[in-house]
Amino acid sequence: MGVLKRYGTYLPISEKTPKVNLEEGSTPLVRLDRIGDELGIELWAKLEGCNPSGSFKDRGMVLAVAKALEDGAKALVCASTGNTSASAAAYAAHVGVPCYVLLPSGKVALGKLAQALIYGARVIAVDGNFDRALELARQASEAKGLAMVNSVNPYRIISQKTGAWEICESLGRAPDLHVIPVGNAGNISAYWAGYKDFKSRGGIKDLPKMIGIQAEGAAPLATGKPCPNPETIATAIRIGNPVSAKTAISAVAESGGLFDTVTDDEILKAQKNLASRAGVFAEPASCATLAGLVKLAQAKKLPQGAKAVIVLTGNGLKDPDTAIAQAETPVKIGDTFEELLEALS
Ligand code: F0G
């Protein structure tokens, strides 16, 4: 029914707020027994790739765009590693306002670029990384009066809390471990705030440990060191200077959780594992979560029997190049039944 309708009571909206709705949210929470059994845990995956633009960004974008319209905004701007731009472009098209998106040139997965273009955003490829594109987008927002819809926009984070509320409603409690990929660090901050809200409303007794996973080549929070030149195959989280670093660090500390890193190889292995052994195709950044759990299990640091939720933040179809590069090639045959029989053997 859309996030604003399902959770309107708990969100800062009024009669004057436009009822923007692309039926985002209410995504599946799926139990992954084959992989979970192997790790010795009860494993659940929140399929955020099932949102209308294929990522979790829609949960926050719907409120950010509704409030921008309420405040009289005439156009939107964002910087993005791909998913924020796809989401902003989709909502801008839906409500009929222009949208400018700044992308790190050559570092955005194909599907995400296709989305921003086909939704009709003005796409600007910046010769710099995401962190630089974000600085430029902020300047443009101030100079031109454009509504900024990155997660520096507080409505994004507020509305992304709905993901935590849905998990608590589905499980009837919070998980023991909440495992989430960390880039600009907005989503981990939003989920933690969401769990705390749900507890203060009396909906759950205990809070989860927050486990934030970063790619080894883009891990300023996990290493505690700045990362001026982030690099990873998981382009969604190729970020060296997270805007929400402070709130993310306190989320992990307050919850008794941890940050950890995984290599690109571990991410790709986890992607294949999720697709071929659970039937779930998520983009590389999302798969960092499972890679993180596998790493903890190997180090004997994964509490056996724990209930863990991994947030699969984006759909695998967004980055077909990465999937095809590591997959087997199709078996080629002519057009005879004999050849087919041979191929089947
Ligand atoms: N997973 C995916 C698929 C993402 O697209 C992002 C961020 C993250 C995880 C990390 O979330 O930034 O809240 O810590 N993507 C942003 C973008 C930066 O521009 O699409 P975060």
Q: How far apart are CA 195 and CA 162, in angstroms?
A: 9
For ligand 1, whether the C-beta of 220 sits within 6 Å is no
173-212 burial by CB neighbour count: b if 16+ within 10 A, else e? Answer: ebbbbbbbbbbbbbbbbbbbbbbbbbeeeeebeebbbbbb
DSSP count for the chain of H helices, then E strands? 15, 10
> How far is ligand 1, taken at its centre, from the CA of residue 236, in Å?
5
DSSP E strand stretches across the chain: 29-31, 42-47, 76-79, 99-104, 122-126, 147-148, 177-181, 209-215, 258-262, 307-312
Give the C-alpha distances (Å, rounded to integers) separating 87 from 117, 127, 338, 343.
Answer: 12, 22, 48, 42
Q: How far is the CA of 84 from the centre of ligand 1 (A)?
A: 7
pLDDT under 70: residue ranges of the chain = none
Tokens of 143: 């100079």
Ligand 1 centroid – CA 81 distance (Å): 7
- The reply to whether ligand 1 has any atom less than 6 angstroms from the CB of 240 is no
Give dist(CA 54, CA 38) in Å, integer: 29
Length of the chain: 345
pLDDT value, residue 285: 98
d(CA 342, CA 232): 40
- Please tell me the distance from the alpha carbon of residue 120 to that of residue 165, in angstroms, as a whole number: 32
User: Residue 71 has what pLDDT?
Assistant: 97
Q: How far is the CA of 338 from the centre of ligand 1 (A)?
A: 48
In terms of pTM, does the model score above 0.85? yes
Q: What are phi and psi of 101, to 5 degrees?
A: -125, 135
| Whole-angstrom distance, CA of residue 18 vs CA of residue 158 | 17
Tell how far the Cα of 341 is from the centroid of ligand 1, in angstroms. Answer: 45
Q: Whose alpha carbon is nearest atom 4 of ligand 1?
A: 236
Tell me if 157 CB under 6 Å of ligand 1.
no
CA distance 31 to 78: 34
Indicate if ligand 1 lies below 6 Å from the C-beta of 168. Answer: no
CA distances from 198 to 3, 150, 168, 202, 305 (A): 16, 25, 8, 6, 24
Is 232 touching ligand 1 by the criterion CB < 6 Å? no
Q: Which two tokens stand for residue 215?
A: 């790619």
Measured CA to CA, the distance from residue 17 to residue 38 in angstroms comes to 47
Cα(82) to ligand 1 centroid in Å equals 8
